[in-house]
Chains A and B, each alone.
Chain A
């Protein structure tokens, strides 16, 4: 007799049966549920030959202090064999404030590179050929402004916009849901995102104007299913807005990209990536009627879970990250960031980031997992988990449809409340010892301190001086005119991108541009729920 048998669950509290077999997959039709690699519904991956044809891009998210220092780190990473760049901006930049703003006090260069003007962007990419290196930029509320700066730097380098390849994160919905770095209210924010998607469709055919992100939703404490469902529903919202703008689905859908977390529960994560591709392919085909394979294929970047890193025994983080990265690769990621062992403390030091990059190189060149696509496909457990993940995510998507879409759901606090409840449940389980975190609630020991990256307090002063000099040197009349024209465009329905490009060319600062938009759009405050 079975009494009080221990429950096994995934980290997201999904029950796991003692054993899985063919009886768990009644009527399972591999042709319908999986297809081959590179075939609808792309459960097994978007390419027939996957990593045999091309490895994932090893793209370490990086940025700290001044653009000068970050530029040096980029040159170092490229020299170490990294294959793409990913820019981290500091909090004032993310919030649309210049380095000399009162609210930037104590924050300049702390969480990323401080970029207040085109001059800073020029320094950030000095000596980096933008026609050859793909660049991802983690920027959301003011994404259109930073992208305009990027386009202006490319122009200075003599690189045609049509040759630029990279990704703008630009996913404002997950900011309201999870990361909370928003400036404007949802609707004007969505208009700016749609402006970039439209502009990209016309001028930068190789650039992803958006990276629809579950990463931050997961970091905020969601389950794997919530991460998947809210992200895909966000994607649907962006598609609806772009169609409303008058674009046809195949003009922009092939350039929508996604970004997922690579968390610690190995099989749950792989199931999540497989379900993501499968659901998105059906959404694009059935909800939007596309017949273009490029529009149906979900391409994604993955980053290992920052929230899983521990302050205690930090070297264990190398192992956690390695396993998470393996899940992302077995799940068919197109690009990957591996966290550094010191990131529970600070932005990564050079030694730590090198180990993180080497982790990917070991996976790519030593582990053998790149030899064949979706090597775990057909596992009873993984297939069952993929089906369950798909069903649970579709259920959430239907609920949000029923609420009138993601903006209405956000305004009701629905995804926020779901995530907070999941995060609290998890913390309670850790507290009760039901979830083991090695080195934290089990197997504790003292660890010698590790060497950390220090952000020089002089960065803020350096940035402020550069800004003061820029404001004296530039043609302030041209700046004023450009900002007035931008405001006028923002008040109407024109695409704001050309006006943003002109404003940054005139060296209007990020803060000045965002102030102009704040004056037109207003700002957003959420109602805080606990």
Chain B
């Protein structure tokens, strides 16, 4: 990677022959003299004359090279970091358009909660805010983002660039949701997107959803098996709907509720699973901390090293050449008067 060199505007190099100009015979810089043979032999003068042309040529060449935009091209350098590979699985189904309970819902009388619902933020907006913060706080992790509703929509493959992920998260809130929530299919697609990648560090699927699906046994088995084979931990940031029960309730009757069933299934996974409430800031902080506490194996990643421009150096060299040329002028006999 070292030693490589390129030009931004290589066509400028076509001007390089201009540097030969000083070597052409000129009838300037001359003095009239009666008879040449009268002049003493002057080796030093000849040498200086040649040097003058050389430096003139160097000055022209240096400017042409500077104009061509010389530099060290942008490179990628393999670095070893300690971050996780996180796939964000963002729910874009219609249920995400609904509102969550306002942040102070715990203090409200349960009988009037419904009337406060309109004060609550939209789930999609909560999801966006939570994710934007999450990504901003984990600058060393590599993120990928997938929307899902009826089908998974793979938006951004794994990248190190936070700007791209943030743009996708922003898009996740624009417009109303589409279709239903098919967590099973989305989970399988998310697991699949890890498959072609070499294992280079802890892997996490960050599910941001209000849940709400029952998975059939076959899907459950495939998810369980896939997570184990790809060694993926599952974090679920749960957006609790109005009147939704607490996920951790032991009541067997609640199995009928999609999100509870999903949570109970996830708890039986062989791979790590954690659950966080999106409406509680402590939980989100906890989620960020948990990712940090993961056993982060060294993760290979490429860091972009931006292009380095050398044109200033060449301009400086040309300026120096001009100074030297001016110095020469001072020693010259200009005329006979």
Q: Is this pair of chains taken from one and the same complex?
A: no
Q: Which residues of B contact A (CB under 8 A)?
A: none
- A residues at B contact (CB < 8 Å): none
